């Protein structure tokens, strides 16, 4: 577990994920009503909370590869496949 005085050691990955070098792994996420925090001593982990009805159609071409956009279009059996894939990428 990291201590309050360790916060000054906060660094960021190339993707902007915060971490504390040589410490416990953690991930945070929030939306309008929920805050989530996950910790692991062994795993590099990520979490992401999104509103079920949030849409990111406007920027999907910037965020997703062509293969991912095709996957979103053709996986209609998954409820909101765009959010399904986005939460995995974001985490």
Q: How far apart are CA 43 and CA 19, in angstroms?
A: 13
What pLDDT was estimated at residue 57?
A: 63
For tokens 């910790």, name the residue.
39
- pTM of the entire predicted model: 0.53
In the chain, where do the E strands start and end? 11-12, 18-19, 25-30, 35-40
Q: What is the 8-class DSSP label of residue 58?
A: G
| Paired residues of 13 in beta bridges | none
Q: Per-residue pLDDT tens for 27-67? A: 888 888 889 999 988 888 888 887 766 566 666 677 888 89
What pLDDT was estimated at residue 24?
A: 82
């Amino acid at each position: 577990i990291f201590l309050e005085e360790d916060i000054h050691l906060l660094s960021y990955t190339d993707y902007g994920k915060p971490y504390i070098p040589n410490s416990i792994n953690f991930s945070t996420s929030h939306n309008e009503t929920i805050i989530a925090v996950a910790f692991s001593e062994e795993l590099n982990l990520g979490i992401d909370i999104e509103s079920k009805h949030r849409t990111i159609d406007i920027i999907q071409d910037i965020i997703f590869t062509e293969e991912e956009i095709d996957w979103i279009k053709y996986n209609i059996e998954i409820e909101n496949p765009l959010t399904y894939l986005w939460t995995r990428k974001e985490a």
